Structures are given as C-alpha cells and as structure tokens.
Amino acid sequence: MLAAARKDLLLARLRTEGRIVAKDLAAELGLSEDSIRRDLRELDAAGLAVRVYGGALPASPAVADYAARQTLATSSKKRIALRAASLIEPGSTVILDGGTTTLATVEALDRSLECTIITHSPTIAAALLHHAAEVVILGGRLFKHSAVASGAAAVEAAMAVSADRFLLGVTGIHNESGLTTGDSDEAAMKRALASRAAETFVLGSAEKVGAVSRYRVLPLDGVTAAVVDPTETSGDELARLGSAGLQLLRAD
C-alpha cells in the first residue's frame, strides 16, 4: 500500500472511529508498526491528527486563526449560540470566553438584558457596547491568534473575579482527551476562568466534537455540561461523550 493511500485510510479511520491504535491497525493491514507510526507523525506535522501514546486522535480544525474560524461550522455555531444565550439570566454574572461561538452568543443575546458580563476578549467586549449588560474587561498580553488576553497578568486578573457561570470555548471535545485547545497559555487562562465560576458550560459546535488539540484545558468532569448541536454533530460522537459522563444540552 502506497504512503498516500495509507494516510487516506488513517484519516478515514479517525473520522469514523475517533482514534487509531498503531499496533492494532498495523496487524490488521499486514504492515509494520513503524510504517503506521511514521504516517501518524507526518499527519500530526500537517495538523491532521494529534499523536498520543500508542496511536493518534483526530485533530481539531478549530485551531485555525480567528479570521479562519469565522468561516467554520457557522450554522452549528448559531444554534449553539441561541442555546448558550439562554444560560445568561437577568441579574446574573457570567464570564464569556473569547472565540467565534461566544461572539455569536452575544449576537443572540437580548440587548435589553441586565446582567454583568466579564470577558478577556476585546472583540466580545466591543460587541456588547450597545447592550444593557455591565461589561468588565480582564487585561493581559493579547494573544492575537484568538483575540484574547492571556499570560500571567490575565490569569492574575481572573483570580480577582467570580461569576455564576462561565461559557467556555475550546477547540476539541473528546471522550478520552477531554477539553483541549491549541495554546498552553490560553489553556491556563481558561482553567483560571473556570475556577472562578460556580458552573462552567463548554460550547461544542460540530467541528469540535470528537476532535483533539495539543493542550488540555479540563477533563470532561470539570464542566457542568456541554452545549452541543445534534443537527450537524455525529450521533456516535455524542453517544461517546454521554457514555463518558458528560451532560449534554442539545441545541434546537
């Protein structure tokens, strides 16, 4: 089997099964385990898979930069946003993560709703200019890839606030790897924000469910629930998350 054909097969297996065990697949195909591992290294380098011990998991397309992410799964994000907006109640204090799904959540939010929103994202803060909500901005080093503040100063600022709920954005939601993102400082900031809220809800648009990025944010049991879109998300992936103990809030 040619290398290109092997890689196509590996990617197909990742899509359908959610993981590859190098030893098992090598035995199935009658190939050397070294060949499979070499292919997985190349797929990892190309951003198409994430290597883990013994094999690989699907890579998330949501690690693209902010501008590129605005074109990913737009209809799924809108459905997620409508459900997520309903979690922001009158008089509550809510932390909003950065990202395109949370921006869609702001767009779905009733402008007359009186609440307090805390965010480390300048794009989220700007989108709230004409809302009744009081807005608190957390500062720090601007991570331009995701248009959010991160680093030590941002984490320190986060530790000075508290909230009823945190709407968390990630790039991967996987039944084994948990909640992941593509940058270590951003992952640390998300953990800090989650620690300041009584409840954390992760926003799971279709392209993120079943995918994995390099840095873990939280295990699945570190959040209250995931807001998911059954219209565009694989039923098998949602079943795996449910079996792993993650509560799912399904968007209409």
Q: Mind listing the pLDDT tens digit for each residue in 117-147?
A: 999 999 999 999 999 999 999 999 999 888 8
Same domain, 42 and 86: no
Same domain, 140 and 209: yes
Task: Give the CATH number, domain containing residue 222.
Answer: 3.40.50.1360
Q: Which residues contact 94 (CB under 8 A, 6 or more apart)?
A: 87, 88, 115, 116, 117, 118, 163, 164, 165, 166, 167
Structure tokens belonging to residue 229: 């879109």
| Chain segment 23-41, per-residue pLDDT in tens | 888 888 888 888 888 888 8
| Claim to verify: residue 149 and residue 202 sit in the same structural domain | yes
Which of 38-47, 84-93, 131-140, 146-155 is predicted with the least confidence, judged by mean pLDDT?
38-47
Do residues 243 and 198 both lie within one domain?
yes
Kindly state whether residues 17 and 90 are assigned to the same domain: no
pTM listed for this prediction: 0.78
Whether pLDDT at 54 is above 80: yes
Residue 140 shares a structural domain with residue 187: yes
Which residues, including other chains, have CB under 8 Å from residue 252's CB and lie 6 or more apart?
79, 82, 83
Neighbour-count burial for 71-98, b at 16+ CB within 10 Å, e otherwise: ebbeebbbbbbbbbbebbeeebbbbbbb
Please name every residue paired with 59 in a beta bridge, in sequence order, or none if there are none. Answer: 212
- Over residues 180-221, the pLDDT tens digits come to 998 999 999 999 999 999 999 999 988 889 888 889 999 999
Same-domain check for residues 74 and 183: yes
Same domain, yes or no, for 77 and 126?
yes
- What's the whole-number average pLDDT of the chain? 89
One domain for residues 36 and 158:
no
What's the gap between Cα 67 and its chain centre?
16
Q: Identify the residue with better confidence: 46 or 111.
A: 111
Task: For the chain, give the longest Cα–Cα distance.
Answer: 64
Q: Alpha carbon of 5 to those of 1, 67, 244: distances in Å?
A: 6, 32, 33
Where residue 35 sits, what CATH number does that domain have?
Answer: 1.10.10.10
- φ, ψ of residue 233 to 5 degrees: the values are -95, 140
Q: Give the other-Cβ count within 10 Å of 148's Cβ.
A: 29
Which domain, by its residues, includes 35? Answer: 3-59
Looking up tokens 């290294």 gives 41
Q: Are residues 82 and 175 in the same domain?
A: yes
Structurally, the chain folds into a number of domains equal to: 2
Query: How far, in Å, CA of 53 to CA of 235, rounded?
Result: 26
> Are 54 and 70 members of one domain?
no
